[in-house]
Structure 1
């Protein structure tokens, strides 16, 4: 009997994760008008499973946003495990810009969540600050990044780069990331 409960729990977690991935993609690409049954079908689960995990559309939107943001932030540590700090930082910045560009399609959906009384951004700043701090600290330790720059400084600049992509091109965003990386490495022990 305990093995069945554990398996059900594992299946439920997998279903939830699939729903969050599909919902984030669908909301970003198609907006709020997508029927929950279409999201459930694309995730390979029944609509009852969707509503069991997310009783309202707003709960689904908020959870999808939080899930995507957590994945972006976790990527900082993953990249550091496989790359030198400055390279991992550049890769994470490019990943962040891609995420922010995709999230811009979710703006209307997130505004609906906010109108319902849920604050999807409540933990966003802390998650992002921690991810950037992890990168900056690693770069400070190996001498590849400046130590006089704060996570908030980098996040503010990254927000500007992400915003510019909505009005510019991906090539322009890459050039801006290059400029930011030049600023982060200038004056470091490695420069």
Structure 2
């Protein structure tokens, strides 16, 4: 990639990251291009869709969360590894307010630019759950899909100003329901 094209791409990503943080995922692509100081054509050459831009912004963080799950899969206590990962992913969704809806939609839409990353993330969490189930420390009747649904619900709750003060308590209640024989 030419140096000027790479600079435009990097500037677009930095602008999008800042705008999405300020305005959640509601920032317009026009605002991203304007902040980056480039035209819409330049933006669309690098990122043909909003999802392609989001996927590029989030891929590294999704990969880091999946890697964390794989690392925690080797934890001496599978139940504690699962809880730690749940805390990490819920914190991620909180830092990226508004990302839950695109993530949940992307899991169901195989044509979404985010699909592969979201499915990999869900699978990493499912492996953590499975290991905890095999150790007898998590409910045997829960699936990885249900775990991801709970993550989405807990993340949504944390984003709601009226409910946020109870989010930590609800997280504890949910983990007590998922895990068996907690000490």
| Short-chain TM bin | 0.5 to 0.7
TM-score (norm 1): 0.61
Name the residue aligned to 1:173: 167
| Correspondence 1:94-173 to 2 at 5 A | 94-105=87-98, 119-167=112-160, 168-173=162-167
2: CA distance, partners of 1:163 / 1:175: 14
Please give the per-residue CA displacement for 1:61-89, whole angstroms capped at 9, x wherever unaligned.
33113333232232212233355211111
Paired positions, count = 163
Change (3 A) 1:21 1:171: farther
In angstroms, what is the RMSD of aligned CA positions? 4.0
Does the CA contact (< 8 Å) of 1:164 and 1:173 recur in 2?
yes
Change (3 A) 1:106 1:178: closer
- Could you tell me which runs of 5 or more consecutive residues in structure 1 were left unpaired when the two chains were aligned: 1-11, 41-49, 111-117
1: CA distance, partners of 2:57 / 2:90: 18
| Correspondence 1:1-191 to 2 at 5 A | 23-24=16-17, 26-30=19-23, 31-32=27-28, 35=32, 54=46, 58=50, 59-82=52-75, 84-105=77-98, 119-167=112-160, 168-186=162-180
How far 1:91 moved relative to its partner? 1.3
- Could you tell me which runs of 5 or more consecutive residues in structure 2 were left unpaired when the two chains were aligned: 1-5, 104-110
TM-score (norm 2): 0.64
Change (3 A) 1:141 1:131: same
